Structure 1
Amino acid sequence: MGESLTLHTGVKKEKEDTIVWFSGPDDKVLAQLNGKPGSVKTYQSDVSLNKENGSLTIPNVSSIDSGVLILEIFNPNKQTFLKKFNIIVYDPLPMPQITRISKCELLCSVLNVRRVTLSWYNGTSLISSTSASDSHINLSLPLEQEDKNNNNNYSCVANNSIRNQTKHLDPLQSAVDGCSPEPRNVIWVILPLSVLLVIGFVFCT
């Protein structure tokens, strides 16, 4: 994001070639190079077309430039050349932020993200994760914290296909007593000895 992107035709241009760049899926014409070099038309203000070889440059690319671009090269003496470019531009990946929302619960968050997965880890073990779709959203993931005596090493990781950001839980945040899962209640039933003997007799016959 913020850098320029140049797409090359991958073929040597001939004098008779007409080069047209489209954006899909509506096939909107972005730029066109007719015949000899110098005859260039651009239909979108933020793109430029090389007059010599027909390469297309998009300056200051951002996530809104993601999509399919189509190149067509027409030559009266040859078959039409068609090439598609699938472009995915990722926004800068923010550092996750960890906050405490109760004595035993933490919340990890990243703001205004798309195509991002947010995960909690204990050391190298994955605890839980959630993902953002193609729409920009605020993504958050809670964690039920365990007692500090369990030597937990929590971290929250935000990642996409090209990079990741890791936020480790501060030792002061991690030092919480009384957050172990409560034991299940066990009910003991004490029966008279005579009842136990009867039950044993029934099962042995």
Structure 2
Amino acid sequence: MANIDYYLGTISPFCYLAGTRLERIAEKHGATVTYKPLDLLQLFDRTGGVRPAERHPSRLQYRAQELPRWAEHLNMPFHFKPAHWPVNMAPSSYAIIAAQQASASGGGGDLGGLVHGFTRAVWAEERDISEDAVIRDILVAHRFDAGLADSGLFVGAETYGRNLEQAVEAGAFGAPFYVVPETGQRFWGQDRLDFLDRHLATAG
């Protein structure tokens, strides 16, 4: 059974646009997904990227066209300038880490939906995912215990930092970034999910 390491940032618009297509692809091929939320801005710093606020105007102008274009293509609601962006990614990332641990021990809900729920909250619903009440609400909406927002904060912080190191080691430099460790194949961007789908079909 293949595993997919999914490196993500909870405030990434491209992670939002990925929707839940990864989960459908994984289910189709009997693959598992390991969610690895990380500090995306630090990943840019570590791998030669440029933070959005520091990018050349030409890149920002293209981004302003590309994001709404993809949202329309995918028929997904989207606010190019959401009310709460950027915000601290750590609290929502800790919640995902705690939810993944809960799922591993039989106490989980819809983990893929939870990940998408945080990104959707930013880009479609204009909610502040750094707020405790919002995190709890999204956890409950995806059948997780709201208490996961508080539990395991130390482990969450430790894993969050480790995910960044693992991303750098795996060759990831943006998000969404999908890695199949068994084959070493890497896929950057929600627009590469079809290639991941094809790879899993032939790798088995």
Q: TM-score, normalised to structure 2's length?
A: 0.20
Question: Relative contact order (alpha carbons < 8 A, sep ≥ 6): 1 or 2 greater?
Answer: 2
Q: Which has the higher helix share?
A: 2
Structure showing greater Rg: 1
Under a length normalisation based on structure 1, what TM-score does the superposition of the two structures give?
0.20
Higher strand share: 1
